[in-house]
């Protein structure tokens, strides 16, 4: 039986180790076979011992990239490109399924891991799609380091131009470059869903009934607010983003 390879990145203090551990637990519950789970970080304190921690590097192009990101007002927003570095995991066999930390895994992941083999796979970005843009969303992504080293090498060769072209957005950089190379596929929109856009009703219904989990959702993305702990308890950030307590999230977002 093949091993499923899963990766994430954690830096700074916005997310604690429990986010990594719960993502790891969700991946193990919902992938068939063995799972190798990697986290690139500068602080592995509190990680489950089975998680393989990778050192968060200072890339040779770090200063140029950050200077360009500062102009775009997106400081630090492209650190995930380090995950694409060729040879990052010397003994890796097969593709990597990547996640942001602010997601809850709610269903089987094998279809997502095996979707469009050989392609860079991402879900269409909800907001960008409404604007007629083809940008992928970076909360869930699948790529193969043996095939897609150009995701790292292109930025490394010309960080200022690539950051400017992507307007400081890592997901725009990744999806646009893969599309230009005809190496991109969208993940099924019913499998990767947004809590804000697909689970939560618009006012006033969000005040009257709880957010729902779409029937075929495998990953629920909590981009923006509320995050998982806020949605579980209930959130009142605004009339639009108000949600009643949502206990089903706690059934999935556990170690």
Using DSSP, how many helices (H) and how many strands (E) does the chain show? 10, 10
Domain count, the chain: 2
Please give the pLDDT value at position 1: 57
130 and 179 share one domain: yes
Query: Whole-number mean pLDDT of the chain?
Result: 95
Q: What does the pLDDT average to over 62-79?
A: 85
Average pLDDT over residues 217-230: 96
What is the pTM (predicted TM-score) of this model? 0.95
Q: Are 159 and 225 within one domain?
A: no
Domain boundary among 163, 186, 209: 186
Q: Looking at the structure, do residues 21 and 147 belong to the same domain, yes or no?
A: yes
Give 71's pLDDT tier (boundaries 50, 70, 90). Answer: confident
Give mean pLDDT, residues 181-196: 98
Domain identity same for 87 and 137: yes
Q: What is the C-alpha separation between 27 and 109, in angstroms, rounded?
A: 8
Same-domain status, 176 and 205:
no
How many CA atoms does the CB half-sphere of 121 hold within 13 Å? 22
> Per-residue pLDDT for 229 more than 70?
yes
Whether residue 210 sits in one domain with residue 180: no
Question: Is pLDDT above 90 for 72?
Answer: no
Q: What is the pLDDT of residues 201-216, one digit of tens each?
A: 999 999 999 999 999 9
- Considering the domain architecture, whether residues 70 and 113 belong to the same structural domain is answered as yes
- Give yes or no: residues 245 and 137 share one domain: no
pLDDT of residue 75 exceeding 80, the answer is no
Residue 233 shares a structural domain with residue 142: no
Name the domain boundary from 170, 186, 202: 186
Answer with the one of 157, 186, 215 that is the final residue of a domain: 186
| Residue 154: CB atoms within 10 Å | 18
Residues 238 and 126 in one domain: no
Q: Check pLDDT > 80 for residue 231.
A: yes
164: containing domain: 4-186
236 contacts: CB under 8 Å, gap ≥ 6: 242
**Both 137 and 242 in a single domain?**
no
Q: Is the dihedral of CA 237, 238, 241, 244 positive or negative?
A: positive
Same domain, 154 and 30: yes
User: What is the average per-residue pLDDT within 221-246?
Assistant: 94
């Amino acid at each position: 039986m093949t091993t499923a390879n899963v990766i994430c990145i954690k830096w700074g203090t916005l997310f604690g180790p429990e986010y990594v551990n719960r993502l790891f637990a969700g991946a193990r519950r919902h992938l068939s076979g063995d799972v190798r789970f990697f986290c690139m970080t500068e602080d592995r304190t509190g990680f489950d011992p089975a998680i393989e921690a990778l050192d968060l590097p200072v890339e040779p192009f770090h200063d140029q990239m950050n200077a360009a990101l500062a102009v775009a007002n997106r400081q630090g927003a492209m650190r995930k490109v380090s995950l694409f570095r060729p040879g990052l995991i010397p003994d890796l066999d097969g593709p990597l399924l990547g996640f942001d930390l602010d997601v809850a895994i709610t269903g089987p992941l094998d279809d997502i891991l095996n979707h469009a083999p050989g392609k860079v796979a991402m879900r269409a970005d909800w907001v960008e799609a409404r604007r007629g843009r083809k940008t992928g969303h970076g909360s869930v992504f699948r790529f193969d380091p043996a095939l897609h080293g150009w995701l790292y090498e292109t930025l490394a060769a010309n960080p200022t131009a690539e950051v400017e072209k992507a307007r400081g957005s890592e997901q725009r950089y990744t999806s646009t470059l893969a599309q230009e190379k005809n190496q991109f596929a969208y993940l099924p929109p019913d499998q990767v869903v947004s809590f804000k856009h697909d689970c939560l009703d618009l006012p006033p219904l969000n005040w009257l009934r709880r957010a729902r989990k779409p029937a075929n959702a495998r990953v629920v993305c909590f981009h923006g607010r509320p995050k998982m702990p806020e949605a579980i308890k209930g959130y009142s950030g605004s009339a639009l983003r108000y949600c009643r307590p949502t206990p089903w999230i706690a059934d999935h977002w556990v170690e």
